[in-house]
Amino acid sequence: MNHREPPAQLDHLVLNTHYDIDAAQRLLKGLGFIVTPRGYHTLGSVNHLVVLAGGYLELIGQPRDSNKVRQEILDSPVGIDGLVYAVDDVPACRERWVAMGLQAQPVQHFSRPVDVGGEAVDARFSTVRLLPGQFAAGRVYACRHLTPELVWRDEWMAHPNGVSAILSLLVADANPARAQADYARLGAWDAGFALEFTGSEGLAARFGELAAHLPQRDAFFAAIRLRGGDRADIAARARALGLPMREEAQRVTLALPAFQALLEFA
């Protein structure tokens, strides 16, 4: 990695649900996560968050009854479909990416209302997105929170299942070494989060029969590894939801078949 590149920090990961955000919300809540109330973006999409120390998991979808369609959501596949870097200066990030030869969209500014004590307050963001296809596994972009206090709220972070943070995102690629080198150009991750890389054989070795629930593409975001949590409680919740699961001594891994994603509780 070029030593001049800044360190990378996770802002959030995205689970794209298309029109099925209600089902994703029920699953995450059933697994013992606090899921934030539905947010309505000015761009037309809707979301829920699972807020954790450091980065968070965003469930994003498109309302069926909306006259404002956020087409990029529907053009992207269902599943883990967003790796979002936290940056302090979005225009400078865009300039850096363009200087590296990457194709970046214009900087976007948008918001969504958040209920704080019965009052609607706008959570505001600035983002820059890389044009799709440059990183085959999914969408890559950067975000600055202009109102972080409206996202990282204590009442949203005390999850009943005990999960405290996102540890890693597993990138599956037909050429994992090349993929690892491509992502390394964007920065070196801090100690709290890691990108992992594997090929199809590695998926089968790590997840066994659960790998059958993952996408059938040459590259995709496969699994989110989470820190903390009461594994026995999470396993019981997964059984109650009828989710495919593997229980091992040091981890519980479960599949979200409708969303072609795995969650690993370490």
Specify the pLDDT at position 4: 56
DSSP letter (8 states) at residue 37: P
Q: Which pTM value belongs to this model?
A: 0.94
Dihedral in degrees, nearest 10, Cα atoms 171, 172, 176, 180: -10
Sorted by sequence, the CB contacts under 8 Å of residue 64 that are 6+ apart come out as 19
Q: Does the structure show a pLDDT above 80 at 2?
A: no
- Residue 41: predicted pLDDT: 78
**CA separation, residue 173 to residues 6, 9, 177 (Å):** 25, 22, 9
State whether the Cα torsion 65-69-71-76 is positive or negative. negative
Q: Compute the average pLDDT of residues 3-20.
A: 87
Query: What tens digit of pLDDT does each residue of 185-230 get?
Result: 999 998 899 999 999 999 999 999 999 999 999 999 999 999 988 9
Q: How far is CA 204 from CA 32, 172, 200, 234, 247, in A?
A: 27, 11, 7, 23, 16
CA-to-CA distance for 38 and 60, rounded, in angstroms?
10
- What does the pLDDT average to over 46-56? 94
User: What is the rounded distance in angstroms from the CA atom of residue 67 to the CA atom of residue 47?
Assistant: 17
21 pLDDT more than 80: yes
Contact 143, 88 (CB under 8 A): no
Q: Cβ of 177: how many Cβ atoms within 10 Å?
A: 10
Mean pLDDT of the chain: 93
Instruction: Identify whether the C-beta of residue 13 lies closer than 8 Å to the C-beta of residue 166.
Output: yes
**pLDDT, tens digit, for every residue of 107-117?**
999 888 888 77
